Every structure is written in C-alpha cells, then in structure tokens.
Structure 1
Amino acid sequence: MKSTVADEMCTEDLGNVLPSVYKSVRLSVASPPLLHVNASLLLLTDEALSEVFGAVVEDSEEYQTLKVLRKGGITSILFSRPHHANVLDMKMVEELTTALHSARLDPTTRLTVTAATGRVYCGGHKPGLDAASGLQLRDGLHSLVKCVLEFPKPLAALVMGPCVGVLAGLLPLYDVVLAAKGACFQTTVVESGETPCGCCTYTYPRLMGHARAAHMLLLGHELECGEAQRSGLVTEVLPTTAFHHTALSTLHPLTATPPPALSHTKQLMRQPLLNPLTSVHGSAIMTNTTQVISMARYFAAGVKRNSDNAP
C-alpha cells in the first residue's frame, strides 16, 4: 500500500514534539491499535472528517489550529495540529475559546463535541519562554477554563490516544467523555513548576478519591482508559475501530432531547459546584501568576550564567 503524507504524519516520533515535561507519557499506549491504522481513522484529511462527521469542514479564516463542523444540532471542534501532537499554544487556546463561544451562541447547536486529528488528543501545552508570554498564556487558559466551566449546553469529549495537561484537567467539567481503547490521561507534572489548572485539584479528588488524585496531580501518574472509567473520569470506553462513528451514535439521543430540558438539568447539576470551582480556578490563576514570573527569572538567570561561562 502506497504511503501518503498523512500516513507519515501518523507514524512520526511524537516524543520529539511533546514538551519535555510530558515525555514521560507512555505514547506506546496508543499502539498497537493506533500506530498502523490508516489516515482516515485518524481524521488527517478534510475528506475523512466529512465522511465521519457527515458535514463539511467550515471554510473559516478564523481557525488555523482547529477544524469546525456543524450538522444535525452537533458542533464538532477538532484540534488540528497533529504534526505537533496537538500541543496547545497561545493561538490554539484562543481559537478553542472562540469556537466554544460560537457554539454557545449558535441556536442550532444542541451538543458540542471536542475531538482531535492525529493519534494524540492533546500533548499538553507549550509554556511561555518569558514572563510576558507566560502571563499571556495564563490569561488565555483562564478564559478557556471559564468558558468550559460556564458552558450551558451538553459538552462531550471524544478522546483517542494520549490526553495530557490542561485538557486532561478539564475533562471532569465535561458532561460526557468517550475514550477509544488505548487512550491514556495525565495532568500537568508539578515538577515542571506549574500548578495543575482546569479545576482538577478540586474535581479529581471528588471523582477518584484523594490518594489516586494525588498520584496523578503530584506524581504525574498516567491513567489508562480502563482505570479512568473506573475512576469516573471517562463515561465509556469504545473500540478503536470506527471510534468516532460509534461515539457520535452514542451521543445522538442528546440532539433529540428538548434543549431547555438539557440546559436546565445541566444548570441544576453544576450550580452547587459553581462557587467552589470558581474559587479553586481563581486561586490556581493567582498561584500560576507567581510561578510564571519565578520560572521566567529562573530561566533568565540560567541563560545569564551560561553566557557568563561561555568561552
């Protein structure tokens, strides 16, 4: 079978594009099911996306890191940086927040889905290289988390492959999380100098208990999909073959439910948690502000030491 550019993207060494603090993620967990699948399963072309989601990719200059499709009451937002393991950078954070706001305001959208092209759902986020870019990213992530926290419509994640960092931390704020067999989950590694965000310091202990949450949040433990389902992080684990087709079929009943019933039910479920979640998120932002400045000073001092010691 002739190799295509898309197939080559499937098999590249993702260890070279993940941020160094996340390279402990066992990417091989995504294989054998994902290493040798064809490009259409990994949604690397617009044709594959249209076939799976039954809609045409929106031709919008607004999105360079995402693919957005709308049909039948479902807005699908796909992370589209497969050659960078879908690592969040500032642009992708901004575009994802914009796409979620658009889905929130769209009267035809009853369900919003996030998924990904390639064999990694998300490989973490790209840290700022100095205080200014670090603070900009912090503000962007703050807006993204707030958007997810206050999202009034059903929100579902279709996770294939590793899900690392901020987006793993956000999953408890979703209403449905469907994972392909072989998916794995890891939050921000604290040894990187950052406090996990996405309210996961509150939601993870509530879901899985303090000991298991501490194993993830403090020690960087990687949760495989079966363990994630038993912990309450994942709703259901589905076969890798035809994963997106099966997931969308599973979610389809939500599009036939009266929207007011969905939004009111979600509001009643979320309301008792809104104040503590908002408080935890605010505290994380304040903590990360201090950490961003401290890390920038640390790296700047390291650069100066290196230049002083240069021959």
Structure 2
Amino acid sequence: MSEEKVLIKDKGSVRLILLNRPRKKNAVDIEMYSMIGKAIATADSDINIKVIVLSGTGSMFSSGNDLNNFGTALSSGQSLDQVAEQGRIMLQDFVRTIVLCSKILIAAVNGDGVGIMFTLLPLFDLVFCVHGAKFNAPFSRLGQTPEGCSTFTFPRIFGTSRATEILMLGDKVGVDEAKDQGIISQVLEPENLLQYALKVAENLTMLQQTSILETKRLTGWDKQTLLKVNDEECRVLKERWQSPECLEAVTKFLTEKINSKL
C-alpha cells in the first residue's frame, strides 16, 4: 500500500476511496478531510463516474476525528476562536459535500467506526459491513456534541430514546442492531467485503442512470433539512471546542496517549 493517507482509484465508472492510516486506526486528520471531500466532489462532477465507494485499509473502518487536529491547529499560533472557526468550516464543508452528492454513495465498513465515520453512515445510499463491527459516538466524554447530521437522522432511525443513549451516553451499537435498524444492508466476511461492494457498484453503473439518481433523490433525506442541521451542529460544535470541559477532555486524552507510548 502507498503511504498516502487516502487512496483514490477509479475502476471504470466507480471511484474507490480508501482511508489509509491503519496504524492510526484510520483517524481522520485535517488533510484527510480535504482529500476525502475533494475526491467525492470531483467524482460527483465527473460524468464518467457513477458510483462512489468509501472503505478503509486494515481492521478498523475509522476511529473518527484525529484529536491531534486540535494540537496541530493550536500550535499554528492562531487564537482559539480562529482555530475553532477553521474547524467549523472544515467539518461543515465536508458533511455538506456528502449531503449534496448526487451520485450513489456506498460505504464498505471494514471494521469498527467511531464518531464522524459512524454518524455519517445514514447519509450513504448503501452500507455494507463486516461481522463483529461496533460503532460508538463518544461526544459527551470529550465535551463535544454530535455531527454528521446525526441529531436529525439518528432519532428517526433508532427512535428518540435509543438515539439519546447513543449520542449522549455513548452506548455502542453492534452490527446486528445497525442492520436491524436499516443503517446496514448486508453483513459480510472481511475477505468478501470490498469485492462485494465493488460488484454492487459495477452493477449500479449498468442500470439506467436517470432512473437510479431520481430514485436516490425521491427516497433520500431532504437535503435542505440536512444542510440546516449540519449548519447548526457545526455552529454548536465551534462553541463546544472552545469550552473548558472540551479542552480539558482533549488535553487529558492526548496526555494519556503520549504517556502510553513512554
């Protein structure tokens, strides 16, 4: 594998995007947000690309937002407000790109998913996952609030009470529950996952595209609603990122991480 953090390869009319930081559990850093967003946006505007598949290398789909993003941004010498505003714009644009994508989006979830790479899954048209995967949104533990439009999608998928357990209490969601609730359509063995996802993607490219995309539009979430939710989630997150409890939680996490390596 290349040392690129994100691998992008077009296979006919299918764009494959792979998170490629297996030693970092595919944590998404600042550069990766830009790379993934750009890969999706350019595929959406390319008439030759009809389906986009997102997956990861290694045994974990993604551990979510790389908390080192905070330290990297703060070490730039900018004020906390400037750093928080840049983070708000980055996340808002990233989620917005996925919401507005008109092409078919497939997630091939190759392992556990945490935070942003869990909350985004309802925005994909198809989600395939490996056996045994677990999902977690530990926002409260880090003094943060949900993103990825999950404050809108999760209550409608899981019901208000279960969504509260997931988004506030940080309850884990197993692959079986995710499948029962319709977030995941197929559960597969790891060695079959990507091959299956690419085969489905290839089959989709052979169908009448106007019909496919109109069906996506008619059956999907209302995009204007999602955009408003995304704006509000990111506005609140900017506030949380500057709060003492968030800064304390992130500092504690990073300190423990450094000490564990000593």
Question: What TM-score range do you get, normalising by the shorter chain?
Answer: 0.7 to 0.9
The aligned residue for residue 202 of structure 1 is 152
Matched residue, 2:124: 174
Tell me by how many angstroms 1:141 deviates: 1.1
Distance 1:103 1:193, change over 3 A: same
Please, which of 214, 223, 232 is the counterpart of residue 274 of structure 1?
223
Say whether the 8 Å CA contact 1:166–1:188 is kept in structure 2. Answer: no
The count of residues paired between Structure 1 and Structure 2 equals 240
Identify unmatched segments of 5+ residues in structure 2. 75-79, 253-262
**Paired residue for 2:43?**
103
Which range is displaced more, 236-245 or 131-140?
A: 131-140
| 8 Å Cα contact 1:74/1:112 also seen in 2 | yes
How far apart, CA to CA, are the structure 1 residues paired with 2:246 and 2:155?
A: 32
Structure 2: distance between partners of 1:243 and 1:274 = 29
Q: Per the alignment, in what secondary structure is the counterpart of residue 203 of structure 1?
A: helix
User: Relative to structure 1, is the Cα distance of residues 296 and 96 closer, same or farther in structure 2, using a 3 angstrom cutoff?
Assistant: farther
CA deviations over 1:180-203 (Å, ceiling 9, x no partner):
112211124212111110000110
TM-score (norm 2): 0.85
C-alpha displacement of 1:275: 2.7
1:94 aligned to 2:34? yes
Tell me whether 1:248 sits opposite 2:198 in the alignment.
Answer: yes
TM-score (norm 1): 0.72
Q: Is the 8 A contact 2:144 2:246 kept in 1?
A: no
Q: Secondary structure at the match of 1:155?
A: strand
Determine the C-alpha separation between the residues in 2 that align with 1:133 and 1:262.
41
Contact 2:57 2:110 in 1 (8 A): no
Q: What is the match of residue 184 of structure 1? A: 134
- Alignment partner for residue 175 of structure 2, among 225, 229, 234? 225
8 Å Cα contact 1:75/1:111 also seen in 2:
yes
**3-state SS in 2 of match to 1:205:** helix
Q: CA deviation at 1:231?
A: 1.5
Structure 1 stretches of at least 4 aligned residues deviating more than 6 Å after TM superposition:
none
Supply the distance in 1 between the matched residues of 2:56 and 2:201 (Cα, whole angstroms): 17
Residue in 2 aligned with 1:77?
17
**Which of 239-248 and 187-196 deviates more?**
239-248
**Bigger relative contact order, structure 1 or 2 (CA pairs below 8 A, ≥6 apart):** 2
- Which digits, 9 at most, give the CA deviation of each residue in 1:174-227, with x for residues without a partner? 000000112211124212111110000110111111122111101111111111
Q: Deviations over 1:8-66 (max 9, x none)?
A: xxxxxxxxxxxxxxxxxxxxxxxxxxxxxxxxxxxxx36xxxxxxxxxxxxxxxx9321
Q: Aligned residue for 2:242?
A: 293
The residue that corresponds to 2:98 in the other structure is: 148
Greater Rg over alpha carbons, structure: 1
Kindly indicate whether the alpha-carbon contact (under 8 Å) linking 1:238 and 1:247 is maintained by their aligned counterparts in 2: no
Check conservation: 1:65, 1:81, Cα contact below 8 A.
yes
Over the aligned positions, Cα root-mean-square deviation in angstroms equals: 2.1
Native 8 Å contact 1:69 1:75 kept in 2: yes
Look up the SS of the partner of 2:183 in the other structure.
Answer: coil
- What is the match of residue 209 of structure 2? 259
Aligned residues of 1:208 and 1:232 also touching (Cα < 8 A): no
Q: Which amino acid aligns with 2:236?
A: T
**Could you say if the C-alpha distance between residues 146 and 188 of structure 1 is closer, same or farther in structure 2, counting changes exceeding 3 Å?**
farther
Structure 1, gaps ≥5 residues long = 1-44, 47-62, 304-311
Q: Alpha-carbon deviations, 1:237-292, whole Å to 9, x = none?
A: 1122322112322333211112222222222233x622322221111111111112
Percent identity among equivalent residues? Answer: 28
Q: Specify the SS of the correspondent of 1:241.
A: helix
